[in-house]
Amino acid sequence: MIRIEDINLLEQGYKMVFDLRSSSSVLMDENYIKYIQQTTLDKGTTMGLKGDNGLFATAEWWENIKNGNIETYCVKGVIVGINEENSFIEGNTMIKIKVNGTNKEIFQDIVFTNEREKIISEELYKAGNEIVSIYILDKLKEDDVWNCVVEEKLGVSPLLNRVYIKDGG
């Protein structure tokens, strides 16, 4: 499903490099989904998602994202670095983004919808390029958990939903 904001970004020269729903990433792996859903349903643990608006990756969950019952959050910024020199993280797997209009910098995984997209778009992950990342903010069972993406919102898990990058030339 193409949204209005997606069309606007595409018209502005951005390229979609990641779409969770269409992804072949580990986040959409059947076993991973089952694990997340089981953790949500496990009343004996405080870990995991609340599941108030459907279990992760189900049709109900996607519908609740679409109709706004599960909040989304948009981060716009510029890629300022790639983790090539960080000995604790595998090379070229994470970027640092300077968030527009703030002094804030966040880290984000380098992701692609699939291997084909990686081959086509890998060169877009470079310093100076503009990036727009749309997160799904699903509620956690514990409502006081901090996250580095939306610091003012406790108790949510920011899950990367879509990523657009514009070549800065």
**Predicted local distance difference test score (pLDDT) of residue 110:** 84
Task: Give the chain's mean pLDDT.
Answer: 89
Is 90 exceeded by the pLDDT of residue 100? Answer: yes
Per the structure, the count of domains in the chain is: 1
**CB neighbour list of residue 33: distance below 8 Å, 6 or more residues apart:** 56, 57
- 0.75 cut: is pTM over it? yes
Domain that holds residue 11: 4-166
Distance CA 39, CA 120 (A): 36
Q: Between 5 and 151, where is the model more confident?
A: 151
Each residue of 59-78: pLDDT tens digit? 999 999 999 999 999 999 99
CA distance 98 to 13: 20
Which letter does DSSP use for residue 135 in this model?
Answer: E
Judged on CB neighbours under 10 Å (0-12, 13-18, 19+), 38 is exposed
Would you say residue 4 has pLDDT above 60? no
For the chain, give the percent of residues with pLDDT over 70. Answer: 91
Single out the residue of 36, 64, 80, 47 nearest to residue 136, CA to CA. Answer: 64
